[in-house]
Amino acid sequence: MKIGVILPAAEADGPGETPGWPAIRSFARAAEAQGLDSVWMFDHLFDQTDAGSIQGMHEAWTIVSAVAASTERVEIGTLVLCTSFRSPGLTAKMAVSADEVSAGRVILGLGAGWHDPEYDAFGFPKDHRVARFEESLRIITPLLRGERVTVTGRYHRTRDARLFPPACRTIPILVAGEGPRMLRLAARHADAWNTAWYGVPDDRLARQLAALNEALEDEGRDPGRMAKTVGMVVRDPGVDAPAEENGFAGSVEELADAIEAYARLGIDHLIVLLQPMTEPSLDRLGAALQRRPDLEAGS
């Protein structure tokens, strides 16, 4: 099971302000030094709380490309790129360019988007988000596979579109989603699927895995050929969080056991959101992995 971490690139991830590039680069390199398999970037223009306050966030693709040039081994994924923010053709083109910079380490995670304040502020349409997402996948997926693409859709159009230069490899596409339509789209188009956020594995995760397998069978795909990824929240002991928020806050030994539980479920890639997103928290995750040699990153 591979192990990855979310990169700190939002105001909530830093010491009272949005982390600067030096801090993000240092965190990514520290994750690589710990032996982790991947680093992941959220894609938001900003975050607005229920109370109306705004928290700043860096643009995802810029950070992905910078991390790609600043690391050597870790995979670099988006969890997930909002297809509403960029045209599907441009998204595919950017993925190929970032993959070139990374020497073949990009995972293109895609989602339909959900945070209405971003849409309202920047004028993105909020209607039919899943339908728009489906049309985007119909363009992005074949473009990344080297095909010529003509789509006359309700929301997007291409005419004999093709990527020059083409991708040098098959860039894996990940789709995140839990509803029936999103699961169907993942089963139809994606190489990997994500569900989040969890502490220890629970009944909700079991239901989601069962629903994914059903969607894969409906699409005629072998469930064993879809990579299953799960987002896990890991808080250092003493970190405050809302009582209803999912998350794990046990000892290093208990964290090692929780990671083992995901591996026993057949999860292919565990993506950890650390709270706080600091290098000491990375060290703590690394210590948990060292206590389970059979679960070290990359095993």
> How confident is the model over 105-115, as pLDDT tens digits?
999 999 999 99
Q: Which of 144, 110, 25 is nearest to 74 (CA)?
A: 25
- Rounded Cα–Cα distance for residues 195 and 232 (Å): 9
The number of angstroms, rounded, from the C-alpha of 135 to the middle of its chain's C-alpha atoms is 20
pLDDT value for 14: 77
Tokens at 130, concatenated: 């899943």
User: Does residue 66 lie in a domain region?
Assistant: yes
- Total domain count, the chain: 1
Given a cut of 50, whether residue 96 has pLDDT beyond it is: yes
Given a cut of 80, whether residue 82 has pLDDT beyond it is: yes
User: How many CB atoms lie under 10 A from the CB of residue 173?
Assistant: 21
Given a cut of 70, whether residue 298 has pLDDT beyond it is: no
Residue 276 structural domain: 2-79+97-128+166-295
Q: Which of 32, 51, 52, 40 is nearest to 13 (CA)?
A: 40
The one-letter amino acid code at 270 reads L
Q: Which of 158, 157, 161 is nearest to 143 (CA)?
A: 161
CATH number of the domain where residue 118 is located: 3.20.20.30
Evaluated on CA atoms 180, 213, 271, 146, the torsion sign reads negative
Q: 227 by DSSP, 3-state: which?
A: strand
pLDDT value for 293: 55
User: How many CB atoms lie under 10 A from the CB of residue 151?
Assistant: 17
Least confident range from 6-20, 32-46, 192-206, 234-248: namely 234-248
Residue 202: which pLDDT band, with cuts at 50, 70 and 90? very high
User: Does residue 141 lie in a domain region?
Assistant: no
Residues pairing with 122 in the sheet: none
Which residue is associated with the tokens 């890991």?
234
Residues pairing with 271 in the sheet: 4, 231
Tokens at 176, concatenated: 């995140």
Evaluated on CA atoms 10, 11, 14, 17, the torsion sign reads positive
pLDDT value for 229: 98
Given a cut of 60, whether residue 138 has pLDDT beyond it is: yes
The mean pLDDT of the chain is: 94
CB 31 within 8 A of CB 282: yes
pLDDT above 70 covers a percentage of the chain that reads 96
Q: How far apart are the first and last CA of the chain?
A: 6
pLDDT value for 244: 54
pLDDT above 90 covers a percentage of the chain that reads 89
User: How many CB atoms lie under 10 A from the CB of residue 22?
Assistant: 8
Least confident range from 11-15, 100-104, 120-124, 148-152: namely 11-15
User: Does residue 25 lie in a domain region?
Assistant: yes
Question: CA distances (Å), 89 to each of 78, 84, 144, 174, 188, in order?
Answer: 17, 12, 10, 17, 19
- Rounded Cα–Cα distance for residues 166 and 93 (Å): 9
- 198 φ, ψ to 5°? -135, 165
User: Does residue 20 lie in a domain region?
Assistant: yes
Given a cut of 60, whether residue 88 has pLDDT beyond it is: yes
User: Does residue 283 lie in a domain region?
Assistant: yes
192-198 vs 227-235, strand pairing mode: parallel
Q: What is the mean pLDDT of residues 40-64?
A: 94
User: Does residue 243 lie in a domain region?
Assistant: yes
Evaluated on CA atoms 242, 247, 252, 254, the torsion sign reads positive
User: Does residue 92 lie in a domain region?
Assistant: no
Residues pairing with 234 in the sheet: 248, 274
> How confident is the model over 148-199, as pLDDT tens digits?
999 999 999 999 999 999 999 999 999 999 999 999 999 999 999 999 999 9
**Residue 16 CB burial class (10 angstroms; 0-12, 13-18, ≥19):** exposed
Which residue is associated with the tokens 């894609």?
43
Residue 243: which pLDDT band, with cuts at 50, 70 and 90? low
pLDDT value for 79: 98
